[in-house]
Chains A and B, each alone.
Chain A
Amino acid sequence: MSARGFKSVFMVGAIAGTALSCYLVSLRVASERAALESVENKIVLAQRDIRLLNTEIGTRGRLAQLERWNVKVIRLSAPSADQFVDSSFQLATLVKPEAKPAIEAPLVYAAAPAPARREPVLTNDDGSATAAPAARSAGEMMHVAGYVKPARPARMDPRVEAEPVAAAAKGPVKAAAKPAPIAAKPAAKPKTAPATKAVKSATADPLGPLPAAKGKAKGSGGASGARPTSTTKDSGSH
């Protein structure tokens, strides 16, 4: 009973609610539409402004004005036919490359005598032992580069074997690292180390003058044990 009695009330409520929501929707749509229109309006006004400003810029920067400035101040003139280049190659011929030595380091020939110039290069590394390392390095480089030497090793074979091969082949740094411990001992004893022999065969012939090397090594007492050994090989070449 009660439900049936309120039925009409519910109906009215539902209809009112529906109508209200429909109205809200349409209201929303109308307001969106209005917002859209105002945006469109703004766009049109902005375009009108752009047009006006473009016209102003065009008028102020008109070609006759630019021409006047050019004649009075800038004085640019039409390029002549010679100022056009046909290709990138032709353009490249117009550019003179900067004078620059191709190789930074001085080139040392195999046959060249060890120059005194070597010294300063090495002194940079070790301030104290300038003279000795300079002599070493120069000799070393000559050996590595030279093809003349192989004749000697044949004679010198026995001595060569005594020395660590790897060190001679790869330069002073390696010589310092590897052969040092090994060489330190053999240096004291003239006998050759058995292990080194097999490796040696190919390189480091110049070692011939061993005694001289020793003298030098002793002279450079400040240097570590490794260095004297390496010096012995290098100086030996001389």
Chain B
Amino acid sequence: MNAPTPALVARPERLRLVGQRRQILALMHQRLMIGMLIYGAVVGFIVLRLVYLAAFGDHAGRKGGALDLAPERGDVVDRDGNSLAVTIDAWTIGIQPAQVIGDKFALAQKLERLMPERDAATYFAMLRSKRKFYYLRRRAAPGLVDAINALGEPGMALSREPDRLYPQTALAAHVLGYTDVDGKGSAGIERAFEDRLSDPAQRGTPLKLSISSPIQQALEHELQAAVNQFSAVGAAGIIMNIHTGEILAMTSLPQLNPNAAGNGTAEARFNRATLGVYELGSTFKPFTVAMAMDAGVVKSMGQMYNCPEALHVAGRTINDTHPFGRACSVAEIMAESSNIGTAQIAMQLGSARQQAFLKKMGFLDKVQVELRERGRTLTPGKNWNLIETLTVGYGHGIAVTPLHLASGYAALFNGGIFRPATLLKVDAGHKAGPGHRVFSEDTSYKMRSLLRLVVTHGTGRKADAPGYRVGGKTGTAEKYHNRSLKVTSFAGVFPMEEPRFVIVAMLDEPKATAETFGFSTAGWNVAPLISRTVSRIAPMLGVRPDKKREPNMAEVLPHLHEKAE
């Protein structure tokens, strides 16, 4: 440089230089600072996040999701808590053709060997198709799943899917109903309570039915035995608590396995107890007598009617199987199931009162129960004239479901109060349905001895289960299209001196056998079935057998004038 001369004033370019450098330096500092701050912030954020995770974060090995126990669809249990329908995880075998890597033809052959329901050609066609997925089998057995897994083919899809299982198979099948492939209820309780069973909030708690498994099983077994014995095409049975309207057992035959409902015939899927309507014949007579007593037409069991061999009314002739041919009392009319006598009582009662009573008992509407399968009753409707009144009086010309009959008998013997039938257990969570009075308490009381009389001295003698005081009424009706085919039924109540349960059984087209001496009336086929069933279920229901107890028969026995043969 030059000699050191005191520079009093810096050269302007130099000054500018210094200023520039400073500016640049400041800028660099500023940038460095910003960079450092960003870096620090990132590190700080990471550190904070780590600390937070260490303090409050989840454990690395945490497994979530398994804590949910609620099934996909709510369970259905009987009144004692035994499972009737559960949802379990079942293996499903599928195939994804696009992901198959091995020899497709060899695979098709192996599949045919493992699952012979399709042949190798079909499997091969599936494997070569463009579709993404085929279901091969639902609800596969674990052994088969193992074998499929051992094929080592990634194209085979094994998965677990919720599946509806009915552990008791055919037990109470028509009550429970069944679900379709997608798990939606398509019949019975499954259909009626679809919302309740699939609601996430409620499906954790099982749906408790009023059905009692042992009683249901007893009824089904005895009914099936009778169907086999008398070659009937079908049958229905109901056992009901008359005070609450709870249905303890309800069955319809032929049987249906809800686990494979699609394999059953349409006949098997048909619920005869609630959907089928039948002319139930003489089982209606107690209603007519009770109506007449309530209306004051019949004043005592000893009231006499003229019972000729045949009654000619309005151009029609009414016959009896055991014609009296003399005057007969109400007690005799009931004991011998006289159409002629009952028709006269109905005539005195009149059409209007008869319809009013039937309406109050719900016989003119669909039966009241939770199920959706409810049959429409067939009644004379607008043509309810004199002759219709008479025939309805003894149970012809009106077709109702067996459940109607059970509800009606319950109303007749629980003190006269009609309550809708229910399939849900009556307890704190589910109150019995609202009732309304149909018959007076006095009528209800008097009817006890009258129905007991039918079993001790009348047409229902074979229905007596010794010690259990069964009372009831037989009914035999001819089918409209073929009068040789019959529908036989029995509506019974026990124990008669303090009625608690009603049992209704019906056989559709029973045939005469050698043991019944060629008869196919209710007294010969349904009545013995009632006797067997009652002696089996009554101890389970807490009814104590006692041969010394009887309802008050003093009202009716004196009016049994002569033993009709």
Contact = CB atoms under 8 A, between A and B. Distances in A.
B8 interface: no
A33 B62 CA distance: 10
Contacts of A79: 535, 539
A81 B66 CA distance: 54
A26 B54 contact: yes
A203 B61 CA distance: 100
Given A27-B54, A37-B59, A64-B217, A84 B165 contact: no
A9 B526 CA distance: 101
A127 B467 CA distance: 67
A67 B63 contact: no
Contact of A62 (B167, B466, B467): B167
B535 A78 contact: yes
Contacts of A52: 88
Interface stretch (A40-48, A207-215, A219-227): A40-48
Nearest to B220: A64
Nearest to A27: B54
A34 to B, nearest CB: 3
Nearest to B465: A81
Contacts of A41: 63, 66-67
A79 B62 CA distance: 59
Contacts of A38: 61, 63
A230 to B, nearest CB: 67
Interface in A44-69: 44-45, 47-48, 51-52, 54-55, 58-59, 62-64, 67
Interface stretch (B168-176, B272-280, B370-378): B168-176
Interface centre among A30, A54, A67 (most CB of B within 10 A): A30
A40 to B, nearest CB: 6
Contacts of A62: 167-169, 171
B16 interface: no
B217 to A, nearest CB: 4
Interface residues of A, number: 33
A31 B59 contact: yes
Nearest to A45: B66
A84 B63 CA distance: 59
B284 interface: no
Interface stretch (B19-27, B230-238, B337-345, B542-550): B542-550
A158 B168 CA distance: 98
Nearest to A86: B546
B54 A23 contact: yes
Contact of A63 (B88, B168, B466): B168
A84 B168 contact: no
Identify the interface centre among B86, B214, B466: most chain A CB within 10 Å of its CB. B86
Interface string B145-170: 00000000000000000000101111
B363 interface: no
Given A31-B59, A40-B67, A78-B536, A55 B167 contact: yes
A80 interface: yes
Given A58-B168, A67-B221, A81 B547 contact: yes
B82 interface: yes
B49 to A, nearest CB: 14
B62 A34 contact: yes
Interface string B523-557: 00000000010011001000011110000000000
B440 interface: no
B67 to A, nearest CB: 6
A55 B165 contact: yes
B61 to A, nearest CB: 6
Contact of B535 (A34, A67, A80): A80
A37 B214 contact: no
B315 interface: no
B69 interface: yes
Contacts of A26: 54-56
Given A63-B213, A81-B547, A54 B83 contact: yes
A78 B532 CA distance: 8
A52 B88 CA distance: 7
B1 to A, nearest CB: 49
Interface string B64-90: 001101000000000000110010100
B66 A34 contact: no
A23 B55 contact: yes
A34 B61 contact: yes
Contacts of B381: none
B83 A58 contact: yes
B88 A55 contact: yes
A55 B169 CA distance: 12
B468 interface: yes
B70 to A, nearest CB: 11
Contacts of A34: 59, 61-62
Contact of B62 (A37, A45, A47, A78): A37
B6 interface: no
A84 B54 CA distance: 72
Contacts of A45: 66
Nearest to B536: A78
Contacts of A67: 217, 221
B54 A81 contact: no
A54 B536 CA distance: 27
A22 B535 CA distance: 74
Given A26-B54, A64-B168, A51 B59 contact: no
A24 to B, nearest CB: 10
Nearest to A41: B66
A214 to B, nearest CB: 76
Given A63-B213, A78-B539, A48 B69 contact: yes
Nearest to A78: B536
A108 B213 CA distance: 67
Given A34-B61, A47-B69, A63-B168, A81 B217 contact: no
Given A40-B67, A63-B171, A33 B217 contact: no
B116 interface: no
Nearest to A68: B221
Contact of B171 (A23, A64, A78): A64
A58 B167 contact: yes
A33 B59 contact: yes
Nearest to A37: B62
Nearest to A58: B167
A30 B86 contact: no
A90 to B, nearest CB: 12
28 contacts: A26-B55, A26-B56, A30-B59, A31-B59, A34-B59, A34-B61, A37-B62, A38-B61, A40-B67, A41-B67, A51-B86, A51-B88, A54-B83, A55-B83, A55-B88, A58-B168, A59-B167, A64-B171, A64-B217, A67-B217, A78-B539, A80-B466, A80-B535, A80-B545, A81-B467, A81-B546, A82-B547, A84-B544
Given A34-B62, A38-B63, A51-B88, 9 more contacts: A23-B55, A26-B55, A30-B54, A30-B57, A37-B63, A38-B61, A54-B83, A64-B217, A78-B536
A-B pairs, top 4 by smallest CB distance, nearest first, are A81-B467, A81-B545, A34-B59, A63-B217
Interface of B: 54-59, 61-63, 66-67, 69, 82-83, 86, 88, 165, 167-171, 213-214, 216-217, 220-221, 465-468, 532, 535-536, 539, 544-547
